[in-house]
Amino acid sequence: MGAAQAVADWWSEHLDEKYADRREFFKDAIVRYLDGREGQQETTLKVDYDPLGLMLAIVRETIDPECRGFLFSAKGMLPNKTQTWILDGQAMLQHGYGAPAVRIWPE
């Protein structure tokens, strides 16, 4: 497993059960978007109260093409105030504003 797969696993495990039938598509899209981007392009996947940036693109592709990315358009879909990123081959997670970042891969 690599950092992109670890990030994909984390987000897919936290996707609301209402979208369980889309979980594998969601996970595959995350890996596809992140694989090979480290050090070259943005690797942050972020949900404030709505998905932002790359996460919004992934949500639109795999779950809800009408997701606006503002005004609570994805309420309950994913954990709020959460972000993951890949840096120096490590997958990092921050859950909650001001929370410390923790490494989720490698363990």
Reading the chain (107 residues) residue by residue, the pLDDT tens digits are: 799 999 999 999 999 999 999 999 999 999 999 987 866 677 999 999 889 999 999 999 999 998 887 877 778 899 999 999 998 889 999 998 889 999 999 98
pLDDT at 75 (0 to 100): 82
| pLDDT for residue 51 | 92
Q: What is the DSSP secondary structure assignment for residue 86, as one 8-state letter?
A: E
**E strands present in the chain:** 45-47, 51-52, 82-87, 90-95, 102-105
Residue 37: the pLDDT is 80
- Which pLDDT value is given to residue 15? 96
- 83, 44 in Cβ contact below 8 A? yes
| DSSP-derived secondary structure letter, 81 | S
For the entire predicted model, the pTM comes to: 0.91
Q: What whole-number distance in Å separates Cα of residue 19 and Cα of residue 22?
A: 5
User: Which domains does the chain possess?
Assistant: 3-105 (3.90.640)
